[in-house]
Structure 1
Amino acid sequence: MPAKRVRLLMMNAALGPLDYRVPDGVEVNAGAVVVVPLGPRQVLGIVWEEDRLPAERIDDSRLRPLIGVCDVPPIKAELRRLIEWCADYYCAPMASVARMVIASSAALRGAATMTEYRLTGGMPERMTAKREQALAALEGEQASLRELAGMADVSEAVLRGLVNQGALEPVAVDCDRPYPQARADYAVPELSPQQAEVAARLVAATSGGGFAPFLLDGVTGSGKTETYCEAIASALEHGKQVLVLLPEIALTEAFLRRFEERFGAAPVQWHSSLKATERRRAWRAIAAGTAQVVVGARSALFLPYARLGLIVVDEAHEISFKQDDGVRYNARDVAVMRARFERIPVVLASATPALESLAMADSGVYERLVLPSRFGGAQLPDIQLVDLTEEPPERGEWIAPPLRRALFQRLEKGEQSLLFLNRRGYAPLTLCRDCGHRLQCPNCSAWMVEHRFSARLACHHCGHEMPPPKACPECGAADSLVPCGPGVERIADEVAKILPDARVTVATSDTLNSPERAAQFVAEAEHGAIDVIVGTQLVTKGFHFPELTLVGVIDADLGLEGGDLRAAERTYQQIAQVAGRAGRGAKPGEVLIQTRHPDAPVIAALAAGDRDAFYAAETEARRHAHAPPFGRWAAIIVSSEDEAEARMAANRIGDTRPRLPDLQIYGPAPAPLALLRGRYRFRLLVNARRSAQLQQTIRKWLSEVQHPPGVRVGIDIDPYNFV
């Protein structure tokens, strides 16, 4: 007999599980997404197993009835178990995790159509320059008026005029129209013997099914993408869906093109730049099982795949897979857990794997697959150090003489160069030369960063922007504000002075802030329209430019500063990755690393090309400190708009800390970024042995401490951000 009452996981974290009555004639199964009354409102819930979601038992006669069941497949048991695991492991409300699954409210509304427009071939009675421009640009295009206006670079009013004149006609389009289908045999590549051996293992795991975690450890340029694409082909042949996670939207366009060349159709995208209609279409296709391959950012991990058969995490070492607000999860680790619940293979691909991933491979939990050499006979670049204490740049400049000479030589040969500095903008600090005042963000304890391209000062933490003041706001002195230190825009200016004929492009999240801009940058670089790229960490991964033969690291010591407990590993990964952009084609590559500390272990390991020695030393340091993977970290972040209130709350938490032999608790102390978005912040850092019941201890500890309404307490398990 169908259930007459159901227990729901509500989408509001403030609500616990609630029971509702199932109306006569309605059948509801676990995982169904339903609409229910809550006071005067209608809200969403997911039907859950009663024994897995305890709640107060209410008499049947007091239950309110369901309003309706959404026209989408039920959330599968495997995904419900992942929601439970994430909430438990990351100390987050289950509702917050579930909201990432129900990521498109429009997708729940059932079948729908939308109106798009296309040219009819007719001409308007009166032609204007803008109408002529639109007609020329929109040949063969069909989209909404807003999208067409963007394509033609005209206003929507111009297009509405063309509709009234009969030159554009409306077309009703199914919102859930199917995506083009990829073919496993469309363009099968010729693999090297190393690639073929690794691909065969991945194909066997994909076709055989079952949980199988792999660490695909291949040097830059070894063809990891082509190798795991064979596993994707196997999944397609078996009617399974595939998820490929990428760390940056900017990498998506390059991957889409390579995928389409291999499989004959583009994959389905999922990232923050999608319009609501695109999110709806993708979500419903994923839930229905018609979306074959999904490529997306970390949030794509929680989508309701109907027949998931393989997960690939590309550039798996990247810290951008760690979410720093809301549910503070690491997509790399959650991908492994989703594969475990779904009983499918998962591939973590990287040239510089995280220490935790290497430890899992060494212990036999992950199967390690190695691609030790570059594809097609290309050689790894020659790496040299430039000691800035012996060969410093000219005063007020940042490029040392050896790197200058190398830039000249590459330009004369018609080859490309890449300069890496992980600092956006023109200068990280602006101060008054008269009184020493430093321009600081009004909402954060951070300096305002000058951006000359946009003629603005910006805070990179809260997004606050302002025009550069004409005079010092402290002493009133005119023309006294000077930039201090270099950002990528300043380096680009210096390159323009050194090489006035060079075509210079700045590549950062500011300039490549959409898939379209990223695609334009890749096309220009591949067609030789750029001589020198100046970029941040965005260019350290995923890009393949055959004519790029020189990489210059402006400040290798930058990442070693501050309180980042993973600083050495992160610095090694970034520089090794950016070095890997050089010499990926037939021409040999060269890497020049500018540093003031050539004897630092991480710098020496980079110069020697000895990754194993660096990882061995870093492993021993972590073991001694009981740091991951030999111990656990957790951060507790206390914040309030009132500094005294935040301090008192943090002290209260600190005073009630548990005294356990396998737990060390440091703090509370003001966070390095003590003011963020108008909130004062204090931190406690927990260092736990592997034997500790970390999450259980933290939940019990914090549940016993009461705070004023203005205080927020966040928990970050396995933190990567220590500011």
Structure 2
Amino acid sequence: MTTKLSHSASPERAPHALKGAAAGGERVGVLLPLALSGAYDYLVPEGLRLAPGDYVTVPLGPRLMVGVVWGPGSGEVADKKLKKVADRLDVPPMPEGLRKFTEWVADYTLSPPGMVLRLAMRAPGALEPPRLCTAYRLAEGAEAVLPKMTPARTRVLDVARDGFARRSGELAEEAGVSAGVVKGLADAGVLEKVAFTTERGFDVPDLEVPRPALSAAQSDAAAAIGTRVEEGGFETFLLDGVTGSGKTEVYFEAAARALAAGRQVLILLPEIALTSQFLDRFEARFGCRPAEWHSDLPARERRRVWRGVAEGRARIVVGARSALFLPFAELGLIVVDEEHEIAFKQDEGVHYNARDMAVVRGSLGAFPVVLASATPALETMANVWAGRYRHLVLSERHGAAQMPDVFAIDMRADPPERGRWLSPRLVKSMAQGLAKEEQSLLFLNRRGYAPLTLCRSCGHRLECPQCDSWLVEHRFRKELACHHCGYTAPSPKACPACGAEDALVACGPGVERIAEEVTELFPEARVALLSSDVLRGPAAYREAVRQIEEHEVDIIIGTQVVAKGHNFPLLTLVGVVDSDLGLENGDLRAAERTFQLLHQVSGRAGRAEKPGRVLMQTYMPEHGVMRALLSGDRDAFLEREAAGRERLGYPPYGRLAGIVLSSPRLDQLQALARDMARLAPLSEKIDVLGPAPAPLALLRGRHRMRFLVKARREAHIQGYIAQWLAQVQIPAAVRVAVDIDPYNFS
């Protein structure tokens, strides 16, 4: 939330849409992709007509900026003080649906609309015309203007008579002549210049590719969604299927219906790592690759996809949460796969949940939205129970595959050997799998070698100098790293506090330490480590997945990147190294998240003909989450969670908002927090908890304090917070971040 603005003109929020086009001499409101509270008024120059959604360049202080015509000018600033629009850009206007969506997100998240607009314009160069290259082809009537011919010129004409346009160098090479010969024929008018772009086009999905045979349950679900797609209108579906039940094939059918109806399709995935196998499945189903959208795309590819979406040439996009803000011209279906995933929540800048905002975009655009998961979020199930979402259930795995058997290993009764982390029972099961030439997966949601390093001589703990967090050892890279701010340092040989050498001890396991133990236990096994610290970028993930699929790997060790979306036919054993991790962290969703994560990783086992087993190492086998995982009774677990939340008034039966204050000066921060607490408006429906130091009280060199606003479901929490903050004088060095519906409480 931006609290201090500095303007060179007076911005006014456009209250309603521009009717028709604005001609020369009229004024328009232009929204800029900056942290501004609304649109600026500008005059339309003579000879230019502007309509809502047009992308324009306008002067702002000493520079030109690109913005979007948002509506009529406010009229509160005299014409003589206004500047003129510089130019209209040659790009399709921002669709009305996206403009409405931008305003809705801004209002809901209490973000400046310009910051939300920035999400929709984040594609460098996309608004510029494509670069053109020059090619040559035989000019019409060329035979009538032939100059003096030579053998070289004759060879050029022989090549060019096929009518194809070629670059000068290509034409010269095929004819076996110099570039000067081609230039001479062009100057004489025999060859004509043709401008073209080298930008790749977009493949058209083939809807006639034979589809896999669907089960009766899959067919019923696909028909329900497909009917809504064809009839039009908004509806939200929860596609609720056990792992391996074929949810992807169901929503592929819905996508095919939307494409056949001439609409565009957006499929949101929570992790880039999931795209490798997904893209292969998509290509098998539609005969081509979809357009991709995520943060690892090169700038040139982002420009191509953004423009292709705006012009309607990119018919189907697979992307991360930010793809929700692409300028689709004819969007007719959104699919949110693994809808429960926390990765759909944006925790910096504009705080939004892409799952919830996808439903909003479908509502505004009057088209259906599909949420797919084996472990739906409690918020989603509450909407199902209330009748707001339509529930489609796939209760069995597709084909011959069966759900794996799940067992708990009580680490109190069956502990590992001293200095090790894997219990004898788990080690024995891995050995049996290796003997059968089957694959095993060890899951631990903790990156690096060890989460804490301390000195056995003086007790000093190695901490991040910029954050309230321990430095994680990454032994393979020989460095220490902070997973909150990115700070790194070489692994020291001596304690930085007391100077003792060989006194630093790694405490606790990370996946690198588990890999070290596995290598010692099974020296002949081929081991793959899957973690975002080890595999950098989609290409590395694709190669790792290929190796596993082709059985170049026997034992997989990974973090949450292996927990969902992957289908490895030879994987029959999943071992969870620390099932209790994350259960007792004070987060209201701790139990739900742990259940979802462990259920998802369990679902990697036995996805083909061979049966699967899951062994969960735990010190709390009696915990409700463990009992639910062992029994497989997900619905009973969700009902218990819902009852507890409803009793306490927590989401989805109440509203929460987090307000985090941060400053490099602790005294300034504490004084502001006290003032804010004193100014909090009184309300019977809303309580303000805090201020208190944030769990990460120091982050990236800034001290942090937080308030938690707890409200009844019917309370207007955004209006309350806006009224509250309007009374507060925020110092320039202080940042205020508002998070409506927070998922991260650090």
TM-score by length of 1: 0.90
Whole-angstrom distance in 1 between the partners of 2:446 and 2:711: 33
For residues 16-48 of structure 1, the C-alpha deviation after alignment (integer angstroms, 9 at most, x for no partner) is 421111111211100111101112210122111
Residue in structure 2 matched with residue 121 of structure 1 by the alignment: none
Superposition pairs of residues 574-723 of structure 1, within 5 angstroms: 574-723=597-746
Residue in structure 2 matched with residue 100 of structure 1 by the alignment: 119
Q: Give 3-state SS (helix, strand or coil) of 2:573's partner.
A: strand
Q: Give 3-state SS (helix, strand or coil) of 2:683's partner.
A: coil
Is 1:62 matched with 2:84? no
Contact 2:36 2:113 in 1 (8 A): no
Whole-angstrom distance in 2 between the partners of 1:207 and 1:298: 26
Contact 2:310 2:328 in 1 (8 A): yes
Contact 2:448 2:475 in 1 (8 A): yes
Distance 1:358 1:21, change over 3 A: same
Is 1:512 matched with 2:535? yes
Structure whose CA Rg is larger: 2
For residues 181-206 of structure 1, the C-alpha deviation after alignment (integer angstroms, 9 at most, x for no partner) is 11112232211111111111111111
Whole-angstrom distance in 2 between the partners of 1:647 and 1:395: 47
Is 1:401 matched with 2:424? yes
Whole-angstrom distance in 1 between the partners of 2:210 and 2:198: 30
Residue in structure 1 matched with residue 13 of structure 2 by the alignment: none
Residue in structure 1 matched with residue 109 of structure 2 by the alignment: 90
**Cα offset, 1:59, TM superposition:** 2.4
Superposition pairs of residues 466-481 of structure 1, within 5 angstroms: 466-481=489-504
For residues 661-719 of structure 1, the C-alpha deviation after alignment (integer angstroms, 9 at most, x for no partner) is 11121111111111101111111111110121100000110111112111111101111
TM-score by length of 2: 0.88
Tell me which of 327, 333, 339 is aligned to 2:350: 327
Q: Give 3-state SS (helix, strand or coil) of 1:384's partner.
A: strand
Whole-angstrom distance in 2 between the partners of 1:560 and 1:588: 29
**Cα offset, 1:308, TM superposition:** 0.5
Superposition pairs of residues 475-490 of structure 1, within 5 angstroms: 475-490=498-513
**Cα offset, 1:176, TM superposition:** 4.0
For residues 215-274 of structure 1, the C-alpha deviation after alignment (integer angstroms, 9 at most, x for no partner) is 000000000001100011111111111000000011112111110111011000001111
Q: Tell me how many residue pairs correspond in the alignment.
A: 666
Superposition pairs of residues 565-580 of structure 1, within 5 angstroms: 565-580=588-603
Aligned AA for 1:9?
L
For residues 342-377 of structure 1, the C-alpha deviation after alignment (integer angstroms, 9 at most, x for no partner) is 111100000000000001011111101000000002
Aligned AA for 1:389?
R
Residue in structure 2 matched with residue 289 of structure 1 by the alignment: 312
Contact 1:419 1:532 in 2 (8 A): yes
Q: Give 3-state SS (helix, strand or coil) of 1:214's partner.
A: strand
Contact 1:175 1:281 in 2 (8 A): no
For residues 161-188 of structure 1, the C-alpha deviation after alignment (integer angstroms, 9 at most, x for no partner) is xxxxxxxxxx997254321211112232
Tell me which of 453, 456, 460 is aligned to 1:430: 453
Is 1:109 matched with 2:117? no
Distance 1:172 1:406, change over 3 A: farther
> Which shifted more, 171-180 or 407-416?
171-180
**Cα offset, 1:514, TM superposition:** 1.2
Aligned AA for 2:450?
A
Distance 1:602 1:469, change over 3 A: same
For residues 308-351 of structure 1, the C-alpha deviation after alignment (integer angstroms, 9 at most, x for no partner) is 01100000000000011100100000000011111111000000
**Cα offset, 1:561, TM superposition:** 2.6
Superposition pairs of residues 175-186 of structure 1, within 5 angstroms: 176-186=199-209
Distance 1:522 1:172, change over 3 A: farther
Whole-angstrom distance in 1 between the partners of 2:130 and 2:485: 39
Contact 1:107 1:283 in 2 (8 A): yes
Contact 1:183 1:236 in 2 (8 A): no
Tell me which of 190, 203, 207 is aligned to 2:226: 203
Contact 1:472 1:481 in 2 (8 A): yes
Q: Give 3-state SS (helix, strand or coil) of 2:106's partner.
A: helix
Is 1:345 matched with 2:383? no
Whole-angstrom distance in 2 between the partners of 1:332 and 1:24: 44
**Cα offset, 1:56, TM superposition:** 5.9
Contact 1:176 1:284 in 2 (8 A): no
Whole-angstrom distance in 1 between the partners of 2:443 and 2:410: 17
Contact 2:691 2:705 in 1 (8 A): yes
Contact 1:421 1:488 in 2 (8 A): yes
Q: Give 3-state SS (helix, strand or coil) of 2:99's partner.
A: helix
**Cα offset, 1:114, TM superposition:** 7.3
**Cα offset, 1:15, TM superposition:** 6.1
The list of structure 1 runs, each at least 4 consecutive aligned residues, that deviate by more than 3 angstroms after superposition, is none
**Cα offset, 1:70, TM superposition:** 1.2
Is 1:316 matched with 2:335? no
Residue in structure 2 matched with residue 39 of structure 1 by the alignment: 61
Superposition pairs of residues 431-580 of structure 1, within 5 angstroms: 431-580=454-603
Whole-angstrom distance in 2 between the partners of 1:172 and 1:55: 43
Q: Give 3-state SS (helix, strand or coil) of 1:85's partner.
A: helix
Aligned AA for 1:41?
R
Whole-angstrom distance in 2 between the partners of 1:39 and 1:613: 60
> Which shifted more, 286-295 or 645-654?
645-654
Contact 1:398 1:554 in 2 (8 A): yes
Tell me which of 40, 43, 46 is aligned to 1:18: 40
Q: Give 3-state SS (helix, strand or coil) of 1:261's partner.
A: helix
Aligned AA for 1:26?
L
Whole-angstrom distance in 1 between the partners of 2:684 and 2:525: 61
**Cα offset, 1:511, TM superposition:** 2.4
Q: Give 3-state SS (helix, strand or coil) of 1:710's partner.
A: coil
> Which shifted more, 661-670 or 416-425?
661-670
Contact 2:36 2:115 in 1 (8 A): no
Distance 1:176 1:456, change over 3 A: same
